[in-house]
């Protein structure tokens, strides 16, 4: 696997770099108010101290066209793919550290399965914000440097990743619904699979530890 850059033309199939915003205060506030685990990954969907900053209104009104949003974070240390998730909308990730994003296309899910060989890797440099399109499969970021963790701001429509609605499945895709506005496909060798997530990633559970 070759690690590309979010500034490469090849990233256009998955998203785009978000420009025109000053993320400096948002990122410094994240660094001052969140931990960066050395042996795990933590995700917090919504954080008051981040949402009280002026950039919250800018992202809500400019980037999301006035839709209610939440600003949270995903921090930790990770080198594996593990799962793919997708939403019914774009996600904005803003890197406080260099991170690598492992992504694929929802269009490559065939009968509830996607081979991990469809995965591509992109370096998102510190201070860079990217929009991941609704059809972009993604999950927790990966460390860009061996043994080093990361902090990443995660912006999504409000209530995303809260408790899964109680539904009666009407089609195959309904079986992937894992949380509110979150559809999940797991590799068999993951905690998510053991917890009942749909096993939808075939092939190896990609690990980029030898590439960083």
SS (H, E, C) 47-112: CHHHHCCHHHHHHHHHHCCCCCEEEEEEEECCCECCEEEECCCCEEEEECCCEEEEEEEHHHCECC
- Residue 196 has what pLDDT? 97
Characterize the bridge pairing of strands 91-95 and 129-132: antiparallel
Per-residue pLDDT in tens (0 to 9) along the chain, 212 residues:
999 999 999 999 999 999 999 999 999 999 999 999 999 999 999 999 999 999 999 999 999 999 999 999 999 999 999 999 999 999 999 999 999 999 999 999 999 999 999 999 999 999 999 999 999 999 999 999 998 999 999 999 999 999 999 999 999 999 999 999 999 999 999 999 999 999 999 999 999 999 99
- Residue 106 has what pLDDT? 98
CB neighbours of 155 closer than 8 A, spacing ≥ 6?
A: 59, 63, 64, 69, 70, 71, 91, 92, 93, 94
3 state DSSP class of 129: strand
- Residue 158 has what pLDDT? 98
- Residue 74 has what pLDDT? 98
| This model's pTM is above 0.85 | yes
DSSP 8-state class, residue 1: -
- Residue 109 has what pLDDT? 98
- Residue 101 has what pLDDT? 98
At residue 105's C-alpha, the angle toward residues 197 and 10, to 5°, is 140
Which residue's entry shows tokens 């990233």? 11
Q: Please name each of the domains of the chain with its CATH number.
A: 3-161 (2.60.120.10)
Q: For residue 33, which of 18, 47, 54 has the smallest C-alpha distance? A: 47
CA-derived radius of gyration, the chain: 16
Q: For residue 181, which of 211, 204, 145, 156 has the smallest C-alpha distance? A: 156
For residues 76 and 80, give the distance between their C-alpha atoms in angstroms, rounded to a whole number. 12
The distance from CA 28 to its chain's CA centroid, rounded to whole angstroms, is 20
């Amino acid at each position: 696997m070759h690690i590309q850059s979010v500034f490469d033309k090849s990233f256009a199939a998955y998203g785009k770099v978000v420009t025109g915003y000053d993320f400096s205060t948002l990122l410094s506030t994240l660094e001052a108010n969140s931990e960066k685990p050395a042996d795990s990954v933590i995700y917090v969907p919504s954080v008051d101290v981040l949402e009280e900053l002026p950039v919250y209104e800018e992202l809500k009104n400019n980037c999301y066209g006035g839709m209610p949003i939440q600003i949270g974070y995903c921090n930790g240390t990770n080198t594996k793919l593990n799962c793919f998730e997708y939403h019914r909308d774009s996600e904005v990730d803003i890197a406080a550290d260099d991170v690598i994003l492992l992504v694929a296309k929802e269009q490559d899910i065939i009968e509830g399965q996607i081979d991990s060989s469809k995965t591509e890797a992109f370096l998102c440099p510190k201070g860079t914000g990217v929009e991941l399109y609704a059809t972009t499969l993604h999950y927790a970021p990966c460390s860009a440097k061996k043994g080093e963790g990361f902090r990443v701001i995660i912006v999504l429509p409000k209530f995303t990743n809260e408790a899964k609605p109680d539904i009666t499945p009407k089609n195959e895709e309904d079986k992937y619904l894992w949380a509110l506005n979150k559809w999940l496909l797991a590799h068999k060798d993951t905690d998510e699979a053991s917890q009942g997530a749909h096993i939808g990633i075939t092939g190896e559970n990609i690990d980029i530890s030898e590439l960083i």
